[in-house]
Structure 1
């Protein structure tokens, strides 16, 4: 939904959705309901739910254990070598983290 309609929305991840709408969306997602059509018209609610999900993860998506390696890989000056270093760190992510990452960035993993 965010890729289809949200990318043209100004301040997508910056402008907060209404609290009641966000709460309702999160409840619908928690219940695995298929009745999400009403939220398709509010990309800010969807972006807010995604931000909330990421904040509530028990460990950061990129993991605290790999923090130093992410920093080291991102500081490689040559773009090709930097990308290769980032891929190597990405390969060290736990399976669940890689799965989440691949859902958010399908073209990357």
Structure 2
């Protein structure tokens, strides 16, 4: 069944139940819409603006922040930043004087994608990683990544290259590849139906840890150096 058919059926069910239909996304919407939707409305940019801007800011000002990605931020601040992005307005993270704001925004962006960055199709393959011999797991992860849609692969490489760099500053930020995997794994892949069970967390975390720790082997290159995103107000001059 195509996505358009699924949407029509979902809309029909809502009408039968007497519930209002959800409002269509704004042309500038960034959260809760697909990578394809964002790319079409961002001048064909390969990396979604939210990811480009938050990662650029964190590379400049957050790599050595202890507990990066493990700290919470006031819910209202996150809602305000999301609203700015969705309305196509500039975001200046310096205003918040808190490097954890862009960190939480990055996680929220990934978590609110209609389909996870690693896609629904890959979920079962991730769950099978525990059955792969340890010495073969890196090559297996590489195979899975190479099978992703082109856009997903490009965005995943951009993100994991950054997380690999974060892990290299472990003496300062205390965030190892394993710690980062525990934070990001559930934001990269989840099942199409239902929630992630406790037993499913271990393979997800192991798979993600391999992507981070063995980034050059999995993606075939070292992480790119940070490049300022276009039209970004995220980083201070």
TM-score (norm 1): 0.76
Flag the structure with larger Rg. Answer: 2
Question: Which residues of 2 match residues 33-52 of structure 1 at below 5 A?
Answer: 33-39=89-95, 41-52=97-108
TM-score (norm 2): 0.39
Which residue is equivalent to 1:95? 150
Looking at structure 1, the residues matched to 158 and 85 of structure 2 have their Cα atoms a distance apart, in angstroms, of: 16
Looking at structure 2, the residues matched to 29 and 76 of structure 1 have their Cα atoms a distance apart, in angstroms, of: 43
Correspondence for 1:70 among 109, 121, 126: 126
Which residue is equivalent to 2:160? 105
Deviation digits for residues 59-85 of structure 1 (CA, Å, limit 9, x no counterpart): 22212211222233464311xx32221
| Residues 37, 51 of structure 1: alpha-carbon distance in 2 compared, 3 angstrom cutoff | closer
Q: Whose relative contact order is higher, 1 or 2, with alpha carbons under 8 Å and at least 6 apart?
A: 2
- Tell whether the 8 Å contact from 1:28 to 1:35 is kept in structure 2 after alignment: yes
Looking at structure 2, the residues matched to 43 and 19 of structure 1 have their Cα atoms a distance apart, in angstroms, of: 15
| Residues 98, 26 of structure 1: alpha-carbon distance in 2 compared, 3 angstrom cutoff | same
Looking at structure 2, the residues matched to 5 and 38 of structure 1 have their Cα atoms a distance apart, in angstroms, of: 10
- Tell whether the 8 Å contact from 2:125 to 2:144 is kept in structure 1 after alignment: yes
Looking at structure 1, the residues matched to 160 and 83 of structure 2 have their Cα atoms a distance apart, in angstroms, of: 24
Please report how far the alpha carbon of residue 40 of structure 1 lies from its aligned counterpart in structure 2 after TM superposition: 7.1
Looking at structure 2, the residues matched to 103 and 29 of structure 1 have their Cα atoms a distance apart, in angstroms, of: 20
Unaligned 5+ segments in structure 2 are 1-56, 163-214, 220-237
Please report how far the alpha carbon of residue 45 of structure 1 lies from its aligned counterpart in structure 2 after TM superposition: 0.9
Correspondence for 1:84 among 110, 132, 139: 139
